[in-house]
Amino acid sequence: MNERTNTRGLKVTNLVNNFGPYLLAIVASFLASGIFIALMGFNVPKAYATILFTSFRTPNGFVQTLLKFVPLLLQALAFTIPLAAGKFNIGGEGQLIVGAIGATAVGILFSDLPLPLLLLLVLISGILFGCLWAAIPAWLLYQFNINEILTTVMMNFVSFSLIDYVATEIWRDPMAGHPTTIPIGTGGELPLIVSRPPLHSGIILVIAIAIAVYIYTNRTSAGYELVATGSNPRASQVYGINVRRMFLLSLILGGALAGLSGAIEVAGVQHRLIEGLQSNYLLLGIIIGLIAKGNNLTVPFVAFFIAVLEVGASALQRTMMIPGEMVFIVEALILLFVLLSDVVRRR
């Protein structure tokens, strides 16, 4: 019974076990949505080619993908860190917005400061504001045991009003038709690492963060406590882990990353606060986190893949007049099929 398994053999089967279901899920969801596309009367192969290859045809497409990748990765991590502790952070959107507001506020108020200093302040402010926004649901959970799913969602809606107020009342840019603030000081802008097409250095920061998160959750005692809490909070408590503190901490940490994603959008892409800058990053971030099954090693790869699909989606709309939401359905289907593959494996 007690066979010693050959470790290399184990690794190969692990690889097949881990990536096989993903490939199958992608193929299945493309097949399923192909029927949709065909029913709507579009050219299916051409649509797929657009979705999958737009990112890789031109430098611009690739840079667009990386620019999407940055907030998506952060949003996904903002979801998976609390998820490791068994908590659902559905408030990444609000945390992004409020982080962006914090970043913009500093960027405008201290617009005279020089480059590294103001940039640092902008990013830190974004992180802190994100923490703050997440801390409210986290504290409600800690103090009153109030379900975090609902409160984080509610905080999103509150943030919509907040950004509207900031962009139309406080620092309104009178020249813009859409609610927008005046730009932040140039010292707060993220330097470019490629100038044409422009790619800001946030990408390096984000990759470093993804590595740090992986080390934290998988290689430290503190990360162990997070994972143990998520697996069985009661047992974790019995064995000396302060689980309520873990809930609090994980949600605030998630808020920090989501807040940073807002700050990067301001410092790297928009250089000002624009209503709607959150795009649909939250939902995509959750999809990424769930497709990766909360595994922080897998998250960056899934995030990149989803960024590719998203860039494909806008091309789809531009060139073929297929509504971009089609891709959203593809993504939801991939998620469903990935989840289904677990069920199949269980039997």
Partner 1 sequence: MKGVKKSFGTVVALDDVNFELNSKEINGLLGGNGAGKTTLMNILYGLYKPDAGEIYLHGERVEIQSPKDAIKHRIGMVHQHFLQIESYTVTENIVLGTPLKNRPTLNLAEQEEKITDLSEKFGLAVNPRALIGELPIGIRQKVEILKAIYRGVKILILDEPTTNLTPQEVDFLFNSLRAMVEEGMSVVFITHKLREALSVCDRISVLRDGRYVFSIHRDEATEEALVRGMVGERLDIDKSLLFSKPESIREIEPTSVEFVEPVCKERVVLNVEGLHVRDEAGGIPIIRDCSFHVCEKEIFGIAGVAGNGQQELVESLIGIRPVAQGRVLINDTNVADVETRKLLEKGVTYIPEDRLNDGFLPTANVAQNLILGYHNQAPYSKRGFLDWKAIFRAAEKLIREYTIMTPSAQEVAANLSGGNIQRVMLARAFSRPSRLLIAHNPTRGLDIQSTDFVYTKLLERKDEGMAILLISEDLDELLRLCDRIATIYRGEIVGVLERSKFDRYEIGRMMSGVKTHERTN
Partner 2 sequence: MGEFELQFVNFSSLVMLALVPYVLASQGTMLGGRTGLFNVAQEGIMLVGASLGFLGAYLYGNLVYGLLLATLVGALFGLALAYFTTSLKMNQFVIGLALFFFCLGLSTLAYKFVIGVTLQPPLIPTLPKVPILGLSQIPILGEILFNQNLIVYFAILLSIFLYYLLYKTSIGLELKAVGENPKAADSLGVNVSRMRYITAIVGGMLMGLAGAYLPMVYTGTFTEGMVQGRGWIAIALTFFGGWSPHLILLGSLFFAGIDVLALRAQVGGLGIPYQFLLTLPYLGTILVMIFASKWVRAPAFLGQNYDRERRTLT
What residues line the site for partner 2 (CB under 8 A)? 40, 88, 90, 140, 144-147, 149-151, 153-158, 160-162, 164-165, 169, 283, 286-287, 290, 323, 325-326, 328-329, 331-333, 335-336, 339-340, 342-343
CA-only gyration radius of the chain, Å: 21
Does 197 sit behind a cis peptide bond, omega within 30 degrees of 0 on the bond before it?
yes
Residues 321, 316: Cα–Cα separation, whole Å: 6
Instruction: Please give the torsion angle defined by the CA atoms of residues 145, 146, 148 and 152, in that order, rounded to the nearest 10 degrees.
Output: -140
Residues 95, 129: Cα–Cα separation, whole Å: 7
Q: How far is the CB of 96 from partner 1 (least distance, A)?
A: 29
**Coil vs helix vs strand at 192:** strand
9 vs 41 by CB, closer to partner 1? 9
Q: How far is the CB of 4 from partner 1 (least distance, A)?
A: 8
Nearest to 341 by CA among 13, 19, 9: 19
- Beta-bridge partners for 181: 172
Residue type at 175 in one-letter notation: M
Q: How far is the CB of 23 from partner 2 (least distance, A)?
A: 19
151 vs 206 by CB, closer to partner 2? 151
Q: How far is the CB of 224 from partner 1 (least distance, A)?
A: 5
Verify binding: residue 236, partner 1, rule CB under 8 A: yes
Read off the DSSP letter of residue 242.
Answer: -
196 vs 347 by CB, closer to partner 1? 347
Residues near 272 by beta carbon (within 8 Å), at least 6 away in sequence: 104, 173, 180, 181, 182, 183, 184, 266
Contact of residue 208 among partner 1, partner 2, none (CB under 5-8 Å per partner type): none
Nearest to 260 by CA among 64, 70, 67, 65: 70
Contact of residue 259 among partner 1, partner 2, none (CB under 5-8 Å per partner type): none
Contact of residue 343 among partner 2, partner 1, none (CB under 5-8 Å per partner type): partner 2
Q: How far is CA 173 from the centre of its chain?
A: 28
Which residue is listed with tokens 């007690």?
Answer: 2
**Using CB under 8 A, which of the segments 95-103, 142-150, 195-203, 224-232 binds partner 1?**
224-232
Out of 9, 45, 177, 240, the residue judged to bind partner 1 by CB under 8 A: 240
Out of 204, 231, 276, 318, the residue judged to bind partner 1 by CB under 8 A: 231
x-marked contacts with partner 1 along 3-42 as a string, rule CB under 8 A: xxx----x--------------------------------
Residues of this chain that bind partner 1 (CB under 8 A): 1-5, 10, 219-225, 227-228, 230-232, 234-242
